[in-house]
Structure 1
Amino acid sequence: MAPGGRGRPPRLGVAAAAGRALLCALCFCSSLSPGRAQYERYSFRSFPRDELMPLESAYKYGLDQYGHENWAESVGYLEISMRLHRLLRDSEAFCHLNCSSARMDPDPPASDPGLGPQPQPRDRFADFPELRLFGDLLHRARCLKRCKQGLPAFRQSQPSREVLDEFQRREPYKFLQYAYFKANNLPKAIAAAHTFLLKHPNDEMMLRNMAYYKSMPGAEDHIKDLETKSYENLFIRAVRAYNGENWRTSITDMELALPDFFKAFYECLAACEGSREIKDFKDFYLSVADHYIEVLECKLKCEENLTPVIGGYPVEKFVATMYHYLQFAYYKLNDMKNAAPCVASYMLFDQKDEVMKQNLVYYEYHREKWGLTDEHFQPRSEAVQYFNVTTIQKELYEFAKENIMDDDEGEVVEYLDELLEEEGDG
């Protein structure tokens, strides 16, 4: 029918999380190359002028042509909408990253010489933290305004939150795979179906479609993730080298995968700070809080959305897993001064891991033999930053859920009564 565990060598444990399933998946993936079909013409700095149009208009026109069974036209505009979405996402990240350090000048503006000498406090905002906060906010807003005025993605009407959410869920690939199939482009249909299934592994219709595609000769050559990131390929190469005991190659690729992932992660965080639809009117601080909660919800999804899916399963504790592979590879090369910080980095994310606890004890026991100091038992700086950012974001979101998002009328009345009592006592 057509489409409608973990091993353990002596003393030290090998990488967790991925286990045998990851090894099998890597064997399957070894013949696959990363797909870039709909992004062949994509360039952030020189986006084709003939494709510049509102994202939502391009997407809806593609869906409209899909409904009219104009398959070639539908494919063309759905692909353009994918590129426009990437352009918007990259543009948001570019501006917000470049403006993240914009701050108000702590020194006062130059005074009029005719007024004579003026008092120059050491910190004129010391007693006005709110003014400092919003002064920095205004300067950052100015930076963002200037940045966005120079980028083509922001000269178009902006898409709705619903449309952006559809792209985040990879919904366009559901339509692309069938349009490709009807346009007799089976390689792209297979790739689009696989790309959609990575986000929706239990979608029955797409599973049936994929089963049909897999029944065709050579189908596996076209099973690729069209949204794959470069760090995913580096990670897969590193694990493959690790399994082949090519320790240096594994270290090289894994050390490249880490900063590449962090770059994608912080770009994802920055892209979450884009425009927002205002649906109601609230007090100033509640309105600001609502906007930031929405931003936090987006940022908290970055870790999950960027985690590689291999063999149908997301790599558990992806960042920690990379440090786990690294610590053992460094150990095998007798590079204990690099292995120990990787152990400490892993422990940030899983302090209860018994194997890694044993590894840490082992390194501590031989610290004099290997010339290790207290500094070698500190987690790496990029791991600390990532851990702190993700932890604080989760804490803020939990606070918002408990105190702002869930309005409990009884609690509000009780709180007001307490305030009135305090005022009466005063």
Structure 2
Amino acid sequence: MERGGPRLLLLLVAAAAAQYEEYSFRGFPRSELVPLQSAYAAALEQYEGERWKESARGLEASLRLHRLLRDSEAHCHRECAGGGAQPAAAQEEEEEWGRELELFGHVLQRAACLRRCKRGLPVFQLRYPPAETLRDFQRRAPYQYLHYALFKANKVEKAVSAAHTFLQKNPKHEMTLKYLNYYRTMLDVDEYLVDLEAQPYETVFVRSVKLYNSGDFRSSIADMEHALAEYYKAYENCLAGCEGAYELREFKDFYPAIADHFVDVLQCKVDCEADLTPNVGGYFVEKFVATMYHYLQFAYYKLNDVKNAVQSVSSYMLFDPADEVMQQNLVYYRFYRERWHLEDDDFSPRPEALQYHNQTAVQKKLLDFAKQYLQADDEMEVAEGAEPDGRDLPTDSEFEGQGDYEEGFFAEWWQEPKSKGDKADQGY
């Protein structure tokens, strides 16, 4: 049985360069340590004053500072994850105060660990940036200014990379698409289409898909397993970045104040899944984690590694249990289980997939509860399609014509497996 997958275009993501060439988490120059908000505001002020070279340098410095802050948060999160003695589980008959104290005992241990860790990192001695500034960097707003500042400074190659980096999270931003079309009239842009914020798993995933489409299933599996591991690392780092400083907006009672902080953190953590979804050829890869297990199932089956294929199917089904083709695959594997010496445990999802699924599901459930019962009607609304305001950006008239950006940008098709290890490949 076959099911044609959505056809996505393939772009080989290059390694990050430009402002991160000299970046070092441990060896960050103290001379460049300034508050992120101050550095970013100064760069935008220079932008408004049309001091293009100074603005570009300031924006690149701001991006390095933001990465340092993000990496520092992730470092302390790893250092303190599970650190210290865990409080003993409360007995069912124990009173509520006992369970509450055990919970807050764990919170205090974690807070003490984080305080010790952050005390030793210079970036945390600086004023923490406000949430609005962090949101700008999350949606890559600095790159919209950076690419134009670089263009005006006659650094078109770097401008192409900056514009492309912005488009990876904002692929339908018409003005920036026009900029790239205009740059195409000036030089061959293909080699400069580099995502400067690409995560390690993105390049490996794309390479795995290319290998899959060429029929090299063994190499495709190796890369896809690597991509999975790197994605889970990036996800943990994203969660860590959500646990930064909290801005008190109003005075509230103890429990409502804790709930407000927790809901803000929870919203950020729920957003991690979407924030880490890669853009391949102008399309976001929906259900990205499930898609990786999808490829693994078929590739393992092709190599007659049925145990790993079955675990990949079960892992995929966590995220898309209604998939009829995968349901049929499971029936097929169970029917021939004796031939392949499959045990009941072989039909269990992989542990890391189960943990990720459960974690994201509980986070979403808690956030839905908070939105329904804890927030006023005008709160907890996440702005969709928010874009940085233009600061004297060029007008449409400077970039006439649509150009052929997409034709040059996209290299080749990639798609889901046409079959998932089911009847299309049964040789029995």
Shared fold, TM over 0.5? yes
Match of 1:326 in 2: 296
Q: 2:23·2:64 contact (CA, 8 Å) conserved in 1?
A: yes
Alignment-mate amino acid for residue 316 of structure 2:
Y
- The one of 27, 37, 46 aligned to 2:27: 46
In structure 2, C-alpha distance between the alignment counterparts of 1:205 and 1:407, rounded to whole Å: 34
Match of 1:163 in 2: 133
- For 2:292 and 2:86, the matched residues in 1 are separated by 41
1:353 to 315, 319, 323: 323
Q: Within 5 Å, give how 1:335-354 maps onto structure 2.
A: 335-354=305-324
List 4+ stretches of structure 1 deviating above 4 A: 103-107
Structure 2 distance, partners of 1:226, 1:382, is 28
**Cα deviation digits, residues 168-204 of structure 1 (max 9, x gap):** 1100001100011011111110111111122222322
1:147 shift after superposition: 0.6
Which of 249, 252, 258 pairs up with 1:282? 252
Residue identity opposite 1:80 in structure 2: A
Tell me, yes or no, if the aligned pair for 1:197 and 1:206 is still in contact at 8 Å: yes
**Contact persistence 1:102–1:136 (CA under 8 A):** no
Post-superposition Cα deviations, 1:91-124, rounded to whole Å, max 9, x if no partner, equal 11211232121355759xxxxxxxxxxxxxx98x
After alignment, is 141-150 or 196-205 more displaced?
A: 196-205
Match of 2:47 among 66, 86, 89: 66
Q: How many corresponding residue pairs?
A: 374
2:335 alignment partner in structure 1: 365
| Worse overlay, 136-145 or 172-181 | 136-145
Displacement after TM superposition at 1:35 (Å): 2.9
Which residue of structure 2 aligns with residue 116 of structure 1? none
Aligned equivalents of 1:361, 1:154: Cα separation in 2: 54
Considering fraction of residues, name the structure with more helix. 1
Contact 1:41-1:48 at 8 Å conserved across structures: no
Residues 36 and 227 in structure 1, CA contact (< 8 A), matched pair in contact too: no
Superimposed CA distance per residue, residues 225-281 of structure 1 (whole angstroms, 9 cap, x where no aligned partner):
111011000100100000000011000000100010000001101110110110100
> How many Å separate the matches in 2 of 1:216 and 1:379?
51
SS at match of 1:301: helix
User: Partner of 1:412 in structure 2?
Assistant: none
Q: CA deviation at 1:126?
A: 4.7
Unaligned runs of 5+ in 2: 379-428
Asked if 1:235 corresponds to 2:216, the answer is no
- Aligned counterpart, 2:149: 179
Amino acid in structure 2 at the alignment position of 1:361: V
Quickly say closer, same or farther: Cα 1:245–1:272, change in 2 above 3 A: same
CA distance in 2, matches of 1:371, 1:215: 61
CA contact (8 A) 2:87 2:105 kept: no
Aligned twin of 1:413: none
Q: CA deviation at 1:214?
A: 2.4
Contact preservation (8 Å) 2:167, 2:173? yes
Match of 1:90 among 68, 71, 74: 71
Q: Are 1:80 and 2:61 an aligned pair? A: yes
Shift of 1:76: 1.1
On the 8 A contact 1:104/1:135 being kept in 2, the answer is: no
CA deviations over 1:342-395 (Å, ceiling 9, x no partner): 000000000111111121111111111111111111000000000000000000
Q: How does 1:133-212 map to 2 (within 5 A)?
A: 133-212=103-182
1:20 maps to 7
Q: 1:43-72: CA deviations, max 9, x gaps?
A: 111112221111111111111111222222
Looking at both structures, which has the greater relative contact order when contacts are Cα pairs under 8 Å and sequence separation is at least 6?
A: 2
Who is 1:219 aligned against?
A: 189
1:299 equivalenced with 2:269 (yes/no): yes
Q: How many Å separate the matches in 2 of 1:188 and 1:106?
A: 52
Distance 2:62 2:265 in 1: 23
Q: Distance in 1 between matches of 2:320 and 2:108?
A: 39
Query: Aligned equivalents of 1:69 and 1:217: distance in 2?
Result: 24
Q: CA-atom RMSD, angstroms?
A: 1.9
Distance 1:106 1:224, change over 3 A: closer
- 2:234 is aligned, of 261, 264, 269, to 264
Unaligned runs of 5+ in 1: 1-6, 108-121, 409-426
| Structure 2 CA distance for aligned equivalents of residues 102 and 404 of structure 1 | 31
TM-score (norm 1): 0.84
Q: Deviations over 1:314-334 (max 9, x none)?
A: 001100000010010000001
Return the alpha-carbon distance in structure 1 between the equivalents of residues 86 and 329 of structure 2.
Answer: 49
Judge conservation of contact 2:87–2:106 (CA < 8 Å) in 1: no
8 Å Cα contact 1:55/1:84 also seen in 2: yes
SS of the counterpart of 1:46? Answer: coil
* Matches of 2:77 and 2:217, distance apart in 1: 38
Is 1:386 aligned to residue 373 of structure 2? no
Distance 1:370 1:292, change over 3 A: same
Equivalent of 1:400, from 370, 391, 394?
370
Report the AA paired with residue 15 of structure 2.
P
